[in-house]
Amino acid sequence: MAKLTQSGKGAAARRPSKADKGPMFGAKVRGHRRSKDMSQVDLADRLGVSASYLNLIENNRRPLPAPLLIKLAQIFDLDLAAFATDEDARMVADLTEAFADPLFEDEDITSVDVREMANASPSASRAVLSLYKAYQAARTAADNLSSKLAGGEDMGTVDRSHLPTEEVSDFIQRTWNFVPELEAGAEKLWADAKLTTEDLYPGLLRYLEREHGISVQIARSGSERGILRRFDAEKKVLVLSELLPTRTRTFQVAHQVGLLTQRELLERLVVDGRLTTHESRALARVSLANYFAGAVLMPYDAFMSACREERYDLDVIGRRFKVGFEQVCHRVTTLRRPGNEGIPFHMIRIDVAGNISKRFSASGIRFARFSGACPRWNIFSAFLTPGMIRIQMSRMPDGSSFFCLARTVQKDSFGYHAQKPVQAIGLGCRAELAKELIYSDGIDLGNPDICIPVGVTCRLCERTDCEQRAFPSLKHPLTIVDDVHRATPYAPAPASSSDVPTR
C-alpha cells in the first residue's frame, strides 16, 4: 500500500525544511510572476529585494514577510485572500485521501510528496483529483454494469466524476459560506418592503404584489402532486402547496423573491470555472437563493445578536425567528461578516445510510471526500435518540479537538402515506471556542479524558485499537495470525506467541 508517512525512498535527501512547518507561498509567488511574464530580477527590483532572496522565497527556503506580501498583492492587483492557505490544506487532505486508495499500494508516496505537489502545482493537483474521481466513476459504473448484467436490468449508469452536488459543496467552501452581496440584498429588501419579524410572511406577499404584480395562491395537496412551489411568470402567480407549514411558506416566498430581485447577481456568482456543468450552475443558483432566503428570515445583525445573547441555543433562536432547527444550523455557519463574526462552525448532514448530503467546514475539521466517515462521530448515534441533541468532545489523530453536537431532523409531514425521511445534522467548532456555547455548560472542556478519538476515514486513521474500524490503516499493514483472535482484525499482531498473556 502507499506509504503516506514522513519518510520514504530518498527521504534523507528530501528532508522537509523549516518552511514545511508553515505556509509556503513560493509556488504562488512564482506562478503570479510568470503569469505577468516577469523575470525574478524585475520582480525583485520592484519589491526592493535582491534576486537571490526572491529565489529563496520562490523555492520555499525563506518565509514571505508580511510587508512583501502586501507589495506583491499591490503589484499583481490581487486580494490578499489569493495567498490564503486553507484551500491548500484542503487540497493536501483530498490528495492524501485519494492516494490512500489500494490502487497506489505499491507506490512509495510520502506525505512530504503530497504536500510538495499541492503547493508546487495546484492546477496539476486538481487535475489528479479529477482523474481519481473519473477512476472512481468508472469503477462504480463497472460494478453497476456487472450487477445489472447479472440481473438482466437496464444498463444505464450515472457519471459520478462531476457530480453537481460535489461541485456545489466545493463552491460553498471556497466562499466560506458567506456572500456579502446577498446579505446586502436581504437588508435592502427589509428596508424597501418595511418588513418586521412578526409580519414577515404577509409583508413579503404585499411586496410581491406591489413591486412585481405577483399574487400567491395556496394549492390543494392533490392538484400538483410532488410540487411544493411553482412560479408562473406569464400569469404572475406563485403557487405554494397547502402541505407547507407557515415557516416553510415564508422561506419559499423569500427564495422566489431572491430569484426575481437577485437574478443578475446569482448569474454572476455561478460563473465559476469549477462549476463545470449546467446542472452544477443551476444547483448553485438554488443554493444561493436559499442563502438569500435564510438571510431574509434571519437578518444578519439581529441573528448575530441573538446568538450572543442566547449563547447559540439553537432551539430558542429558531423560535425567535420562526424557523426550523436545520435552518438555524445553516445560518450560524454563514456568520463571517468582518468585524461582526460568529463562531467558525462546521456542519454536516447525513442520512441513516451514512450518505453525506451537505458539508461545510470553517472550524478546520476535515471530512472524507472519497470514502466513508468515521463511525465514532456522534452524528451517527443521533439516530438512536431522535430529536435529542447529543454532545461530543472529539479528538482527531493530529491532536486537534472539536466540540460537536448532533440531532436528527425530519421533513415536514406531507400526508399520512408520504415518506418521512429522517436525517441528522452535525454542528461543531474548535474545542477552545466551546465555552461560548450553552451546550458546553457542565462539561469539563479541559479534561482530555472526555474526548472521543475520531478520524476522517479508516484508511487515514492511525489508531489501531478501534473496534469499529472497517479497513486497515495505511500506516499499519494488515497482519493476520491464525492462532490469535483479536477484538479487531486490523490491530497490530503480537510480535510472538510469548507476548500473549496466559493464565
CATH value at residue 201 = 1.10.10
Q: 147 in a domain, yes or no?
A: no
Q: 320 in a domain, yes or no?
A: no
Q: 452 in a domain, yes or no?
A: yes
**Using CB atoms within 10 A of its CB, is residue 381 exposed (0-12), middle (13-18) or buried (19+)?**
middle
Do 424 and 487 belong to one domain? no
For position 159, what pLDDT does the model report? Answer: 46
Q: 157 in a domain, yes or no?
A: no
Rounded to two decimals, what is the model's pTM? 0.73
For position 27, what pLDDT does the model report? Answer: 73
For position 339, what pLDDT does the model report? Answer: 93
Number of domains in the chain: 4
- With residues binned 3-state (H G I as helix, E B as strand, rest as coil), the percentages for the chain, rounded to 5, are 50, 10, 40
Q: 393 in a domain, yes or no?
A: yes
Are 425 and 417 in contact by the 8 Å Cβ rule? The answer is no
The grid cell for 231 is 412560479
Do 474 and 438 belong to one domain? no
Do 116 and 46 belong to one domain? yes
Domain containing residue 29: CATH number: 1.10.260.40
Which residue range is the domain that position 194 belongs to? Answer: 162-297
For position 237, what pLDDT does the model report? Answer: 97
Do 468 and 360 belong to one domain? no
393 strand-pairing partners: 403, 451
Do 474 and 372 belong to one domain? no
pLDDT tens string, the chain, 503 residues long: the values are 354 544 443 333 333 344 344 455 777 788 788 878 899 999 999 999 999 989 888 887 888 887 788 888 888 877 655 565 566 777 877 888 788 777 787 777 777 788 778 777 777 888 888 888 778 777 766 665 555 555 544 444 444 445 788 889 989 998 999 999 999 999 999 999 999 999 999 999 999 999 999 999 999 877 777 788 999 999 999 999 998 998 999 999 999 999 999 999 999 999 988 898 999 999 999 999 999 999 999 999 999 999 999 999 999 999 999 999 999 999 999 999 999 999 999 999 999 988 889 999 999 888 877 767 888 999 999 999 999 999 999 998 888 999 999 999 988 767 777 778 899 999 999 999 999 999 999 999 989 899 999 988 887 787 777 878 877 776 666 777 777 777 666 666 555 545 545 44
For position 91, what pLDDT does the model report? Answer: 80
3-state secondary structure 138-157: HHHHHHHHHHHHHHCCCCCC
Q: 248 in a domain, yes or no?
A: yes
Do 275 and 369 belong to one domain? no
Identify the domain boundary among 77, 108, 129.
Answer: 129
Q: 149 in a domain, yes or no?
A: no
Do 455 and 468 belong to one domain? no
Q: 60 in a domain, yes or no?
A: yes
